Amino acid sequence: MTRSLFKHLILILGAIVVIAPFYMMVSYSFKSPGEIDRGEGGFFGRQEMMIDERCVKLRDPDRRDIALAADRFSGQSDDQIRQALIQEAEADCSMRPVVFNYTKAFTEAPLLRYLLNGVIVTGSIFLIQVIVALPAAYALAKLKFWGREAAFGLVLFCLLIPVHAIALPLYILLAKLGLTNTYAALVVPWTISVFGIFLMRQFFMTVPDDLIDAARMDGMQELSIVWRVMLPTAIPALLAFAIFSVVAHWNDYFWPRIVVTGNRDLFTPPLGLREFKGDGDGSFFGPMMATATVIVTPLIFAFLIAQRRFIEGITLSGMK
């Protein structure tokens, strides 16, 4: 009894360390700058109304504003009108810290655009990976042809090359083709997943030959066998691969950092967050953590819903 209590104690301590940055990230995304500075307010902060200084400054009344407002405040001096207008601005610009942080996250930088880019890039990468890898995996697993061993040997050799390691020559080739700062640059190096080919080949080896022979007798071409017979049998393996691929590319920072420079329209979520950090000052901790939370949440949420599949997918590379 005490033994298992002790084990739980160790595991709980570990869990606290693991969760701490997540806790802090979400908590800061709720708090006002003052609360972050002083380290108070618990997890959610007190959520007192706060005034967005920048918003007030933007609405600082000039001569024309005062002249326009003269009707509303008839009989008052310019100075009084000015004060009244500032008060109005402050009233309009005050909000709860959580609202402030999350609206800033979406308005200071085109976060929605970044998220959309993330979806476009990860989506196209996965789609092309499947279109390229599946036929090759089928041929390597089920067709007899001269050079099959050599082709498979090439696959095994390429497994040794991490794409990040050859980023520099890839970048030079893409630059020579004039492709830097395009979606193509973000997608092209990942279109070939040697690991995907290897994985699907291992899976196809277990599919009985009879299934393929039957399809051939029905007069199916090899290519339609791939998509209409093999693909449906491979759904579980494909799903695991999808998770593996999407997680890797949604989170990837190194490659986008190299090929996308300056063009905000192409920023993926990590790049957007990085830029936010670059030009943020101290008062922007809250919005920055809100951005971070928004970027991290989709995968974590999906993970919590389909945990078993995710762990399967991510650790795929560990299966024999």
Partner 1 sequence: MGAPDITLQPLTKDTRPVPATVQERRAAWLLTAPALSLMVLILLLPVVVAAILSFTDYALGNDTFRWVGWKNYSHLFTRRTYEKMFLATFTYVVTVVPISVGLGLGAALLINSLGRFREIYKTIYFLPVMATLLAMSIAWEFMLHPSIGMINRTLELGCGTLFEAIPLIREGCADRFPVWLGDKRYAIWVISFIGIWQGFGFNMVLYLAGLTSVHRELYNAAEMDGAKSAWEQFRLVTWPALGPTTVFVVTISCIRAFQVFDTIEAFWPQGGGPNKSTYVMMFAIFEKGVQQNLIGIGSAITMLFLVFVMLLTIVQCWLVERKVHY
Q: How far apart are CA 260 and CA 242, in angstroms?
A: 24
| Min CB(74)–partner 1 separation in Å | 49
| Min CB(313)–partner 1 separation in Å | 10
> Is 189 an interacting residue with respect to partner 1 (CB under 8 A)?
yes
| Min CB(317)–partner 1 separation in Å | 7
- Taking CB under 8 A as the criterion, the residue among 62, 64, 169, 210 binding partner 1 is 169
Q: Residue 95, SS3?
A: strand
Q: How far apart are CA 22 and CA 43, in angstroms?
A: 12
Q: According to CB under 8 A, which residues from 280 to 319 bind partner 1? A: 285, 288-289, 292, 295-296, 299-300, 303-304, 307, 310-311, 314-315, 317-319
Residues found in the chain: 320
> Is 20 an interacting residue with respect to partner 1 (CB under 8 A)?
yes
Q: How far is CA 192 from CA 68, 128, 163, 241, 256, in A?
A: 63, 8, 10, 13, 17
Per-residue contact string for residues 241-260; x = within reach of partner 1 by CB under 8 A: ------x--xx-xx--xx--
> Is 165 an interacting residue with respect to partner 1 (CB under 8 A)?
yes
| Min CB(102)–partner 1 separation in Å | 15
**What is the identity of the amino acid at 240?**
A
Which is nearer to partner 1, 72 or 164 (by Cβ)?
A: 164
Residue matched to tokens 């599919």: 207
Q: According to CB under 8 A, which residues from 78 to 137 bind partner 1? A: 132-133, 135-136
27-63 per-residue burial string, b: 16 or more CB within 10 A, e: under 16: bbbbbbbebbeeeebeeebeeeebbbeebbeeeebee
Which is nearer to partner 1, 63 or 168 (by Cβ)?
A: 168
The pair of structure tokens assigned to 84 is 């009244």
As a whole number of Å, the CA-based R_g of the chain is 28
| Min CB(189)–partner 1 separation in Å | 6
How far, in whole angstroms, is CA 220 from its chain's centroid? 40
| Min CB(267)–partner 1 separation in Å | 12
CA-nearest of 183, 187, 181, 186 to 261 is 181
# residues near partner 1 by CB under 8 A: 96
- Taking CB under 8 A as the criterion, the residue among 45, 97, 270, 287 binding partner 1 is 270
| Min CB(217)–partner 1 separation in Å | 7
- Taking CB under 8 A as the criterion, the residue among 119, 175, 184, 306 binding partner 1 is 175
- Taking CB under 8 A as the criterion, the residue among 106, 110, 222, 264 binding partner 1 is 222
Q: How far apart are CA 28 and CA 100, in angstroms?
A: 12
- Taking CB under 8 A as the criterion, the residue among 168, 178, 281, 305 binding partner 1 is 168
Contact present, 86 and 60 (Cβ < 8 Å): yes
